[in-house]
Amino acid sequence: MKSLSTRKTRLPLVALLLVLAATLTAKAQGAKIQLNNLDHLAARASQTVDVNIDERLVQIAAKLLSSVDADEKKIKKIVDGLKGIYVKSFEFENAGEFTPADVESVRSQLRGPAWSKLVNVTSKKDGSVEVYLMLVGDQISGLAVLSVEDKELTVVNIIGPVDLEKLSQLEGQFGVPELAIEPPKPKTKN
Amino acid sequence: MNEKYLWDKSGKPDPQIQQLEEILGALRYEHRPFKIPGDLVIGRRRSYVPVLAIAATIALALLAAGLWLRVQNQKAPQFRAEDARPTVVPSGIKENVPKPLVAKDESLDQRPKELRVPIHHRKSAGNLLAGNLSRVKYSPEPDLKPSERREALIAKGQLMMALRLASEKLNLAQRRTQLSSPANLLRNQHKVG
């Protein structure tokens, strides 16, 4: 009789946990953007970066990161818990090699209620950079960066809990090359 | 039988008892001073055979372990760092990735002369790279199969590339946001005015 009652209370609990886990997994998977629409641009691009790292590969790669070396330790912390990293970056010789429709195919996926736009900087001269976050409660479960320039189109999609501060600190560290942005020149008087 | 003789030898001696006394008399206690026998060797040599046997066993075990590790090391495939690094680099990025240092010019070698090894005695650059990577092998993941390890190295390279791009773009967005913030606009207006 007692075992029957405990089983009765345990079953809904297990079911609830399963539903919760499934929801969280679905939510995490929902952070993945479909980037296949951009594949045709590779033929026209002078340089292409195509990175597809799923959860298994993230875990395997993380195994190679040293927990002793300070720089690799930082990267390991960033990578820890990530469910996937997907990047597509195209650089072209000439402007106008990709259409607004190509950009829209990515942007439209980020307009859903799950995503919130964190940053949107648009400039006629330098193009636009958009940063989107997917939040579950207070925690980030996905990041998407869409960078559009005249001759360059880059989409970064990271799935899982991302530490934005740590990630932005990575540039220029651990053989991660610094961005070749020249500091603003002092204005000369006419 | 005269019991007094048996008790304290006071009565008439009993011939049977006397006979027994004679027979057993040879075994009677006789007080003698302690004498060390002349042929006795004092401080006999200790046998080192067991100690030597133990030492030899330990040495053999260490040798066997060393050989086994060497064989295992040779079995693992050797990878170059270039394998793990993606070949395509997006524009606007300076390639500062450190390359393995192989001193081609003897004058560049800062070490004392006695420590220098002639170039033709050194291992090839490929082997040096593999040697560097072997450190990575022993540190975190001893249970990876060679195929998995190769996959992991490629994934690591791609991961670095992806994180680099993500970091770059985030910083770019941050810089542009700061440049176009109202506070900066106001400051610029003040400068112009």
pLDDT at A10: 65
Whether residue B17 lies inside any domain: the answer is no
Yes or no: say if B72 and B134 are a contact pair by the CB < 8 Å rule: no
Q: Is residue B166 part of a domain?
A: yes
Q: What is the pLDDT of residue B78?
A: 47
**Which of A69, A87, A130, A181 is the mutation pick for testing B, counting most B CBs within 10 A?**
A87
pLDDT band at A25 (very low <50, low <70, confident <90, very high): low
The least confident of A14-23, A88-97, B125-134 is: B125-134
Is the ipTM beyond the 0.90 threshold?
A: no
B135 within a domain of the structure (yes/no): yes
> How big is the A-B interface in CB pairs under 8 Å?
163
The answer to whether residues B141 and A63 touch, using CB atoms and an 8 Å cutoff, is yes
Judged by average pLDDT, the poorest of A32-41, B160-169, B177-186 is B177-186
Which of A52, A131, A175 lies closest to B98 in CB terms? A175
User: Rounded distance, CA A46 to CA B92, Å?
Assistant: 14
What tokens does A143 get?
Answer: 């990041």
Q: May I ask the CATH class of domain A30-53+82-162? A: alpha beta
Domain residue ranges of chain A, discontinuous segments joined by +: 30-53+82-162
Mean pLDDT score of chain B, rounded to an integer? 67
Decide: helix, strand or coil at residue B90: coil
Provide the sign of the torsion angle of the four alpha carbons A55, A58, A60, A66, taken in this order.
Answer: negative
Q: Which residues of A177-190 are buried (b: 16+ CB within 10 A; e: fewer)?
A: bebeeeeeeeeeee
Note the pLDDT of residue A30: 77
Does B172 fall in a domain? Answer: yes
B102 lies in some domain: no
Interface test with B, best of A171, A173, A174 (most B CBs within 10 A): A171
Measured between beta carbons, the chain B residues lying within 8 angstroms of A64 are 136, 140-141, 149, 152-153, 156
Tell me the residue range of the domain where B131 lies: 81-88+112-187
Q: Is the pLDDT of residue B163 over 70?
A: yes
Q: In this predicted model, what pLDDT tens digit does every residue of B104-133 receive, in sequence order?
A: 444 444 545 544 444 444 433 333 334 344
- State yes or no: pLDDT of B185 exceeds 50: no
**What is the three-class DSSP state of B79?**
coil
For residue A119, which residues of chain B lie inside 8 Å, CB to CB?
Answer: 173-174, 177
Calculate the alpha carbon distances from A153 to A77, A97, B151, B175 in Å.
28, 10, 28, 19
Q: How far is A20 from chain B (nearest CA, A)?
A: 30
Question: Do B177 and A131 form a contact (C-beta atoms < 8 A)?
Answer: no
Reported as a pLDDT band with limits 50, 70 and 90, residue B59 is: very high
From A47, A39, A6, select the one nearest B86 (Cα to Cα).
A47
Residue located via tokens 């946001």: B177
Residue B93 is given by DSSP the state B
pLDDT in tens, A106-150: 999 998 888 998 888 888 888 899 999 998 888 889 999 999 999
Answer whether residue B62 shows pLDDT above 90: yes
Q: What is the pLDDT of residue A107?
A: 92
pLDDT at B145: 78
* Of A152-156, B43-47, B147-151, highest mean pLDDT: A152-156
Prediction pTM value:
0.52
In this prediction, residues B40-54 reach a mean pLDDT of 80
Considering CB atoms only, which of A64, A131, A154 is closest to B90?
A154
**Per-residue model confidence (pLDDT) at position B35:** 79
Residue of chain B whose Cα is closest to the Cα of A166: B167
Report residue A46 as tokens. Answer: 């002078």
Q: Residue B91: name the closest of A179, A126, A148 by CA.
A: A179
Would residue B101 count as lying in a domain?
Answer: no
Q: What is the DSSP string of chain A?
A: -HHHHHHHHHHHHHHHHHHHHHHHHHHHHHTPPP-GGGGGGGGT-SEEEEEEEEHHHHHHHHHHS-SSSHHHHHHHHHHTT--EEEEEEEE-SSTTSS-HHHHHHHHGGGGSTTEEEEEEEEETTTEEEEEEEEEETTEEEEEEEEEE-SSEEEEEEEES---HHHHHHTTTSTT-PPB-PPPPPPPPP-
Average pLDDT over residues A69-92: 88
Query: Distance (Å, rounded) from C-alpha A78 to C-alpha A164?
Result: 9
For residue B16, how many other CB atoms are within 10 A of its CB? 9
Domains contained in chain B, number: 1
Average pLDDT along chain A: 79
